[in-house]
Structure 1
Amino acid sequence: MTNKPKEIVDIDAGDANNELFAVEYLEDIYKFYKIVENENRPHDYMNSQPEINEKMRAILTDWLVDLHTKFQLSPEALYLAT
């Protein structure tokens, strides 16, 4: 890969002088969420759903995408539904 990493923009820099934003804790909060991100990710969920198999899930997902397109829903709605 020859892609250079994107420049990281500090989106909280404008709030540094506002004590209500508690900017001094942001780095710790980001580190914490990065650590627990994998703990909350679903693991091997298909075994916990004996009433549905992979083929049925694929059909359901296709149906949800069709509905999303038909009703012109937001991308967030499709993301949450699948």
Structure 2
Amino acid sequence: FSEELKPAVEPDPCPAYDFDAESGPDIANVSEFAFDIFRYYRSREKQFYVHDYLSQHPNISKQTRAVLADWMVEIQETFELNHETLYMAVKIVDMYLSKTKEVTKDDLQLLASAAIFISCKFEERSPPLIDDFMYVCEEAFDRDQMIRMEMKVLDTINYDIGFPLSYRHVRRYARVSFRRECY
């Protein structure tokens, strides 16, 4: 095997116990594919590396990005969204900013809203509507601006939102590491 084809995940440290069996009846978890799914995500990590993009955006400082991330957390809490939705939205914002040079401070709220909206469609059973975003953003943008930004973001990141998230790995590893059956 070449370096790229070698397994990206270490062998199961406890092969005698099926950690995913407890979620077996839930067809959404596809537990029989868990190992393959995590190996796949691991193999894609380098594709989604985000470089330090702030130098490309002189109007956006570290503090501005931190405030934006805090605002995204507030939106996650307001809409009671999953943690994965937030992590995915932040990753989308970072990927978009790393591939563009045209974002102003004034566009950040719209960008973050579009990123959350995209990730809601991917992660949530019942995503908020555009009107909900317009309401919580106090009409800072209109429906057409939101749709255009959503399309622009997806186009910029090549419609590839199946990227690995640290939260998924941490959640699984935390659950697996506390199983006593293995020890």
TM range (shorter): 0.5 to 0.7
Larger gyration radius, structure 1 or structure 2:
1
Residues 63 and 53 (structure 1 numbering): CA distance in 2 closer, same or farther, change over 3 Å? same
Residues 71 and 48 (structure 1 numbering): CA distance in 2 closer, same or farther, change over 3 Å? same
Q: Any stretches of 5+ residues in structure 1 without a counterpart?
A: 13-25
The separation in 2 between residues aligned to 1:55 and 1:80, in whole angstroms, is: 20
Using the TM superposition, give the Cα deviation of residue 39 of structure 1 relative to its aligned residue in structure 2, in angstroms. 4.5
Count of matched residue positions in the alignment of Structure 1 and Structure 2: 60
The separation in 2 between residues aligned to 1:45 and 1:61, in whole angstroms, is: 15
The separation in 1 between residues aligned to 2:14 and 2:55, in whole angstroms, is: 41
Match of residue 80, structure 1, among 76, 79, 88: 88
Q: Which structure's residues are more often helix, by fraction? A: 2
User: Whose relative contact order is higher, 1 or 2, with alpha carbons under 8 Å and at least 6 apart?
Assistant: 2
Residues 69 and 6 (structure 1 numbering): CA distance in 2 closer, same or farther, change over 3 Å? farther
Q: Name the aligned partner's letter for residue 87 of structure 2.
A: Y
In percent, how many aligned pairs have the same letter? 31
The separation in 2 between residues aligned to 1:48 and 1:80, in whole angstroms, is: 22
RMSD: 2.9
Per the normalisation by structure 1, the TM-score is: 0.52
Q: Any stretches of 5+ residues in structure 2 without a counterpart?
A: 1-11, 19-31, 91-183
Does residue 64 of structure 1 match 2:49? no
Corresponding residue number in structure 2 for 1:7: 14
Q: Name the aligned partner's letter for residue 7 of structure 1.
A: C
The separation in 1 between residues aligned to 2:68 and 2:60, in whole angstroms, is: 10
